[in-house]
């Protein structure tokens, strides 16, 4: 009987604790009201006028801005505010307007925003939280980092507090203020999803990835931590529909401030340069180069007259460390090099032929155009080898067209076997080396193939229209 009386009381206590636990848990969630109130006046709306509608194509930095669902609320909203092609609806007359965001850096009128927000603008209009409007001038802008510094003639403006994104942790709460779709001073919140993200079009920016709702018009707006400090600049989203899908990317504030200081000082940005084309390592490539796991940046090409060539770096070297910083993935290297001091030596730890060594490279300045253009032709076919591909000679004319200087190699005419197909070999690839041995011609290539060990992974360096790349190929029996 006594036990029967105790059990109901016990379960009653559990139910009460369960019911009253929710308000206690909710009370522990962050309160963004004070943060939003304190910083709203520091965030501005930016409108730009263009004489050419074609220039507006650059205004929204979204990798995929198409395939808006027909008949849905998002599609209706997008077409209402941005037209059928994702662009701002044109006004009457030759001038067009677009919207972005920015934030005040100093009380004397310096404002930070994105390069793509103001690029090509004939006039930049800054609207404050109190509805005042100013015409801004561009102090400087940098396309590679997507940063622009503008200024308005005003004094006593409320400036943001600049923080440091290095202190951010994955899972930490962050808040954004901006003008999505032109709705001024909209506040959205979320968490840090990842740090150090490198996007295909942005090699020099280690982005902060968040799940904060960011949409067209938020570009250039600040990303705050819970202390009210700006830790990033909202720059890009990944979307298949044009709307927010949970993937937002912000430029770290310390990188933005470094760019800002250079723009203030001389109107342009200088970056360090190694002069190599690199790629990431996968498990098969790591095995072929003697690594215990995929790590480092694999050198696929050393550009002529570059700092790396002068220092003796070679194709096939694996860069493991740069000035003491370990390189886990290839995307970590460009930002480190870009922030390096020009004309100063850097210690680069590499793996070459299975042995680690340190090479000193005198860092150069990144040139305006560092891309290498490649093309392809189709020479006469030759017989197939045991790797499952048909190759032909690379003549002098093709070598010049591929910008391969004096390098030799063979051209892949077709892929017929499983080994080559699984390795990712494509028709038109130029095979330059095999296991760090430079391929001289077709006869030499077939000789190298005949001596390959069975059921081992070998590294092939190939050139294709996207650039040089190493492929791991497992030799069949």
Query: DSSP string of 53-81?
Result: GGGGGGSS--S----PPTTSHHHHHHHHH
255 contacts 271 by C-beta, under 8 angstroms: no
Q: Kindly name the residue from 42, 116, 235, 306 that is annotated as catalytic.
A: 116
What tokens appear for 361 in the block?
């490279």
Residue 106: how many other CB atoms lie within 10 Å = 12
Q: Kindly name the residue from 219, 239, 248, 331 that is annotated as catalytic.
A: 219
Name the residue with tokens 């004397």: 108
Q: Kindly name the residue from 98, 119, 142, 146 that is annotated as catalytic.
A: 146
Query: DSSP string of 335-362?
Result: HHHHTSPTTSEEEEEEEETTEEEEEEEE
Q: Where are the alpha helices (DSSP H) in 46-202?
A: 73-82, 115-118
The answer to whether residue 31 is catalytic is: no
The answer to whether residue 146 is catalytic is: yes
173 contacts 181 by C-beta, under 8 angstroms: no
Query: DSSP string of 400-411?
Result: HHTT-TT---EE
Q: Torsions phi, psi of 461, nearest 5?
A: -95, 120
What tokens appear for 31 in the block?
């309160």
Residue 428: how many other CB atoms lie within 10 Å = 18
| Whole-angstrom distance, CA of residue 56 vs CA of residue 75 | 20
Query: DSSP string of 429-447?
Result: -EEEEETTEE--SHHHHHH
The answer to whether residue 50 is catalytic is: no
Beta strand pairing status for 229-237 and 161-162?
A: parallel
| Whole-angstrom distance, CA of residue 80 vs CA of residue 287 | 54
**What is residue 18's DSSP assignment?**
H
Of 193, 255, 188, nearest in space to 223 by CA = 188
Q: Provide the sign of the torsion angle of the four alpha carbons 202, 205, 210, 214, taken in this order.
A: negative
The burial of 87, by beta-carbon neighbours within 10 Å (0-12 exposed, 13-18 middle, 19 or more buried), is given as: middle
Residue 150: how many other CB atoms lie within 10 Å = 25
Q: Which residues are catalytic?
A: 116, 146, 219
């Amino acid at each position: 009987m006594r036990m029967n009386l105790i059990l109901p009381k016990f379960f009653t206590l559990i139910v009460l604790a369960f019911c009253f636990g929710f308000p206690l848990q909710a009370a522990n969630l962050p309160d963004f009201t004070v943060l939003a109130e304190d910083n709203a006046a520091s965030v501005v709306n930016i409108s730009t006028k263009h004489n050419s509608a074609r220039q507006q194509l650059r205004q929204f930095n979204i990798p995929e801005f198409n395939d808006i669902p027909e008949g849905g609320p998002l599609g209706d909203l997008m077409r209402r505010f941005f037209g059928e092609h994702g662009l701002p609806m044109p006004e009457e007359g030759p001038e067009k307007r677009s919207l972005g965001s920015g934030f005040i850096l100093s009380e004397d009128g310096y404002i930070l925003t994105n390069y793509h927000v103001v690029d090509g603008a004939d006039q930049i209009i800054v609207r404050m939280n109190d509805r005042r409007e100013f015409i801004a001038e561009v102090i400087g802008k940098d396309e590679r980092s997507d940063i622009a510094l503008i200024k308005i003639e005003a004094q006593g403006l409320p400036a943001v507090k600049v923080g440091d994104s290095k202190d951010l942790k994955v899972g930490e709460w962050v808040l954004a203020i901006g003008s999505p779709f032109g709705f001024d001073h909209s506040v959205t919140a979320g968490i840090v999803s990842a740090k150090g993200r490198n996007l295909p079009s942005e090699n020099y920016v280690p982005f902060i990835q968040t799940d904060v709702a960011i949409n067209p018009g938020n570009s250039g707006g600040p990303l705050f931590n819970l202390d009210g400090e700006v830790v990033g600049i909202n720059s890009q989203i990944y979307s298949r529909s044009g709307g927010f899908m949970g993937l937002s990317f912000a430029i770290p504030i310390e990188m933005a401030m470094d760019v800002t200081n250079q723009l203030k000082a001389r109107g342009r940005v200088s970056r360090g340069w190694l002069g190599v084309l690199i790629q990431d390592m996968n498990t098969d490539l790591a095995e072929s180069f003697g690594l215990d796991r995929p790590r480092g940046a694999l050198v696929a090409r050393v550009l002529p007259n570059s700092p790396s060539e002068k220092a003796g770096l070679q194709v096939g070297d694996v860069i493991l460390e740069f000035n003491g910083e370990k390189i886990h993935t290839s995307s970590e290297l460009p930002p480190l090099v870009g922030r390096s001091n020009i004309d100063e030596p850097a210690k680069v730890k590499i793996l070459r032929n299975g042995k680690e060594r340190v090479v000193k490279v005198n860092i150069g300045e990144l040139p305006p155009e560092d891309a290498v253009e490649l093309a392809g032709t189709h020479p006469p076919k030759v017989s197939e080898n045991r790797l499952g591909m048909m190759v032909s000679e690379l003549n002098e004319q093709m070598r010049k067209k591929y910008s391969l200087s004096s390098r030799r190699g063979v051209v892949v005419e077709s892929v017929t076997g499983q080994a080559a197909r699984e390795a990712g070999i494509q028709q038109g690839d130029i095979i330059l080396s095999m296991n760090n041995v430079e391929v001289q011609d077709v006869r030499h290539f077939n000789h190298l193939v005949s001596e390959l060990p069975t059921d081992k992974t070998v590294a092939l360096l190939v050139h294709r229209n996207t650039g040089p790349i190493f492929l791991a190929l497992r030799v069949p029996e």
